[in-house]
Structure 1
Amino acid sequence: MADEISMNTAVVFNQLESTYGVSPGAMTASQAVLIKSMTAVPLTGNRVERDLVKPYFGANPGKLTAQRGTMQFTVEATGAGETALDAGTPPAFGRLLRQSVMSETMRAPAATIAASPPTGVGGPTGTFTYAAGDPYEGIVDRLVTLLCTTGGGSGTAEFTVSAPAIAHLAAYEATEQVMTDATDFDLVHGATITPTVGTAFEVGDSYTIQLSAPGAFYTPESDTIESGESFFQYGPNRHQFLGQRGNVTINAAADGYFDLQFDFMGLPGTFSSEAIPTVDFSAFQDPLIVDNDNSPYVALGGVEIVLRSFNLNVGQNIVMRSLVGQKKVRATDRAASGTIVFEAPGLDDADYFANLRTGATLAFELIHGLLRGEIVHLTCPQLEITGLQYQDEEGVAMFSANITALPSDAGNDELTLAIK
């Protein structure tokens, strides 16, 4: 008799589909997913009984319709690593977010400096164009201002380069920077431009240049909805899902990890007995603990808060549609909601009860990680507080807030999860 199957040797492999419900082909070791806390149901559905009339008591036979499989697991959210960031490569878990009705936008280092010419402020006299030089190496977007302090042309004009404080970063200022044609001109966080001066500058001429952090950016989607193929395996028992789509819940708690909890549904494919495949988890970076040392900024309504936990269920409504002519896992709606637990501030610092009373929305922002390649940056521009109460934690007054993340009129922007 074969040995019992261990529940501690499970593996999950995943890849994106190009055609719904069609396997792109055999998976390689690098398509293994580093997971924790997995549960799975290989086959479920709706049992339809035959409701027979018989001359005796007893259960009726039936058959399973709308057959589907489900799988839930957690992946640690981390940066993609500096090498991947420089190469414009998404994080290893990015494909899972895409199958959770999220779009992926990649911003390579070469695209971190706004295109020439700069934006003039108040109608400056001088003109210049530039080519982007060294890329911006910051982890949050910054608007840089160039203010002319000594007039003249190339090699003479001097500028003060500044950027206001943002998130946890202090204001930046560098003075007496000379602008010379075909010579690197420093901005901030390593970014440079190579200018060409047109009309000479006058004192007071002012210009702005937008710097944008590189990385992978994930936002909710409503139209172009991708799907994937997965298999999970306990011991030799392999179970394949096709046409997989799902939902994700974002969890960040103090002294824990920044986790993404996925809940997938798919069409049951082949069930087979296979050797445990080789895995390659090298694309998954080691996570950082969510704490004061590693998570430098969290704010609600522009006010920094002391966070205990944040939870946001993106709320994708995933259903199995089983009809004559079509069988498909579909996303039909979305409503993102969750909770925030944080130390209660004084009402003169932030009156969140006023927001609860009026329904006025608040921006939420959480930066986790300190260095490029390890950053997880979550923003929710319009959080509505739907419930708020005090709770005691070791004698400290805490707020427990129920929240809903709302989209703007543009849609598909109730949250952005940026991996930088």
Structure 2
Amino acid sequence: MPIRRWKKLAALIKPDAVYGVDPVPTGAANYIQLSDAAFTPLAGDEEARNLMQPFLGHQGVLLTGDYGQFNFSVEIAGAGALGTAPAYGPLLRSCGFAQVISAGVDVQYDLIHDAFESSGLYYNSDGVKHVLLGMRGSVSLGFTPKRIPRFQFSMKGLLGTITDEALPVVTKTMWIDPVVVSKANTVMALHGWTAIAESLNIDTGSQVVPRHLIGEESIEITDRSVTGTAVVKAQSLATKDWFAIARAHTKGALALTHGTVAGNTVAIDSDAVQIGRPSEGQSDNIRNYSLPLMLTSLGTKELKITVK
């Protein structure tokens, strides 16, 4: 009997035309290049019968509210050409972002507050294909020097079919090689200060809820709270007084641009970021501050991702 290998995996994701209807992704057009995959093929609830009987023992349960959970990371990179949507675009669209393409210029992803898009997933685990429908989720972004920047996705979808099927033939040309986070490749500004930073992490914090009702089943984004953490080199108060900024509840801009080549540049922007209570730490015996970030929706850009 042949074995099924852990690393042999193909994930195909395509935006829905009609919610919950299989959009039929293909290996040629919809392959997702990912890592750190953790797939829960049959999540949900259990309903115990709790019958009163003249004997002891387990009575079994009924599985209810079936759905699938898929967590994974994707490298942050460009699309290869200005005004071309990146291969990970459908994932951002399924996490509460609207996609706007400016031909020959850039592709922008802005967080929206309703009319969320969704997608369908084919997850082929070395010959067994799992289908998730109406998938939506939440995403975080991480930038750390000397490392590849990554999106971390947490997705939920309605349970479709599970069948034996050969791994698809996939096309990978739409995936662009990333560049590592560094002084040469990455520029960051926070509240008007050109940052010297050890890391930046942002999480959309979306609440993603499977709903199984009479007459309707869906995966819904019901709320979100975008937060993050910036670990920055500690400076004199004359240079940047994070304590005064935090105590005054001041809102300011965050901007990060990663990449220097047209077609492989990604920018992150938020214009009303509040700083939480700074904490002091160190790395290499050099002081730093860990700054909690609240990316509020009080400005015009809660969180914008621009691929250019």
Give the TM bin, normalised by the shorter chain: over 0.9
**Matched AA of 2:219:** V
Residues 58 and 256 from structure 1, CA distance in 2 versus in 1: closer, same or farther, beyond 3 angstroms?
A: same
Bigger mean CA deviation after superposition, 380-389 or 311-320 = 380-389
**Matched AA of 2:89:** G
**Matched residue of 1:63: which SS?**
strand
Tell me by how many angstroms 1:409 deviates. Answer: 5.9
| Residue of structure 2 in register with 1:69 after alignment | 68
| Residue of structure 2 in register with 1:91 after alignment | 86
Answer yes or no: is 1:348 the counterpart of 2:238: yes
TM-score, normalised on structure 1? 0.72
| Residue of structure 2 in register with 1:108 after alignment | 103
Tell me by how many angstroms 1:64 deviates. Answer: 1.3
Q: Distance in 2 between matches of 1:245 and 1:222?
A: 14
Q: Distance in 1 between matches of 2:152 and 2:25?
A: 26
| Residue of structure 1 in register with 2:168 after alignment | 277
Cα deviation 1:242-292 (Å, max 9, x = unaligned): 010001101111111121111100011110111111111110100000001
Cα deviation 1:211-249 (Å, max 9, x = unaligned): xxx211111111111110001122111111001000110
Answer yes or no: is 1:221 the counterpart of 2:112: yes
**Matched residue of 2:148: which SS?**
strand
| Residue of structure 1 in register with 2:305 after alignment | 417
TM-score, normalised on structure 2? 0.97
Q: 122, 139, 163: which one pairs with 1:248?
A: 139
Q: Distance in 1 between matches of 2:242 and 2:171?
A: 46
**Matched AA of 2:302:** E
Bigger mean CA deviation after superposition, 275-284 or 24-33 = 24-33
**Matched residue of 1:353: which SS?**
helix
Root-mean-square deviation (CA, aligned residues, Å) is: 1.2
| Residue of structure 1 in register with 2:253 after alignment | 363
| Residue of structure 2 in register with 1:114 after alignment | none
Percent identity over paired residues: 29
CA contact (8 A) 2:12 2:25 kept: no
Residues 409 and 383 from structure 1, CA distance in 2 versus in 1: closer, same or farther, beyond 3 angstroms?
A: closer
Tell me by how many angstroms 1:26 deviates. Answer: 5.0
| Residue of structure 1 in register with 2:209 after alignment | 319
CA contact (8 A) 1:387 1:403 kept: no
| Residue of structure 1 in register with 2:226 after alignment | 336
Number of matched residues? 308
Q: 199, 223, 248: which one pairs with 1:309?
A: 199
Q: Distance in 2 between matches of 1:370 and 1:26?
A: 32
Cα deviation 1:358-408 (Å, max 9, x = unaligned): 211121111111121111100111111122111111111111111111012
**Matched residue of 1:21: which SS?**
coil
Cα deviation 1:171-223 (Å, max 9, x = unaligned): xxxxxxxxxxxxxxxxxxxxxxxxxxxxxxxxxxxxxxxxxxx2111111111
Q: Distance in 1 between matches of 2:299 and 2:107?
A: 24
CA contact (8 A) 2:205 2:224 kept: yes
| Residue of structure 2 in register with 1:46 after alignment | 45
Q: 123, 131, 134: which one pairs with 1:232?
A: 123
| Residue of structure 2 in register with 1:267 after alignment | 158
CA contact (8 A) 2:205 2:226 kept: yes
Tell me by how many angstroms 1:24 deviates. Answer: 2.2
